Amino acid sequence: MKSIVPIAEFKVFPMKGHRGRLHYIVQAFEAMDQMHAYCKLNCPVFMGKDALACCHSHTVLDVFEDGEERVKSLMGSIHFSKELIGGGMIAHECTHATFYWFRRRFRKNLHFSNRKTARYTDGDEELFCWVVGNLTAQIFAGMYKHKVW
């Protein structure tokens, strides 16, 4: 089987320049099917063929010979397809990454709760990320339309 190689791979740091060791790996793929195939083989959770992009957050431990464990600074990976990448998509996935960074950095959850159940739901985080992505995409479009950029 031919290996799937991203067309770009680099690190991003939520607090670059301010105690900035925690980071994500960002990968871009030429096509959506390549991104899906890569994620299915290499990510802790495969988001399915409907995923337009994805952010996987996880904790990586170094385990030493004496049994001591140390949490590594890698917090996860963010994957995009060149076919659909844009400002809104980037903002959406970065918002997911920011939620995990906050949970890990401050050991607190940002609670989105349903008033009836008062429980955290992934659907609420997803809606929040969609709104951030949609607002960002509209701002990018407006800036181009009005020739600000």
pLDDT reported for residue 48? 79
CATH code where residue 128 lies: 3.40.390
In a domain, 20, yes or no: yes
Asked whether 124 and 114 are in contact (CB, 8 A), the reply is yes
- Residue range 128-137: average pLDDT? 91
In a domain, 2, yes or no: no
Q: Band of the pLDDT at 111, cuts 50, 70, 90?
A: low
Computed over every residue of the chain, the mean pLDDT equals: 85
Mean pLDDT lowest among 12-21, 33-42, 48-57: 12-21
DSSP character at residue 113 = B
**How do residues 65-74 score in pLDDT, each as one tens digit?**
888 888 888 9
Asked whether 34 and 21 are in contact (CB, 8 A), the reply is no
1: pLDDT strictly greater than 90 = no
In a domain, 1, yes or no: no
Query: What is the distance between the alpha carbons of residues 68 and 22, in angstroms, rounded to a whole number?
Result: 20
DSSP character at residue 70 = E
Q: How many domains does the chain have?
A: 1
**How do residues 67-103 score in pLDDT, each as one tens digit?**
888 888 899 999 999 999 999 999 999 999 999 888 8
pTM > 0.85: no
In a domain, 59, yes or no: yes
115: pLDDT strictly greater than 70 = no
Expressed as residue numbers, the domain containing 131 is 8-145
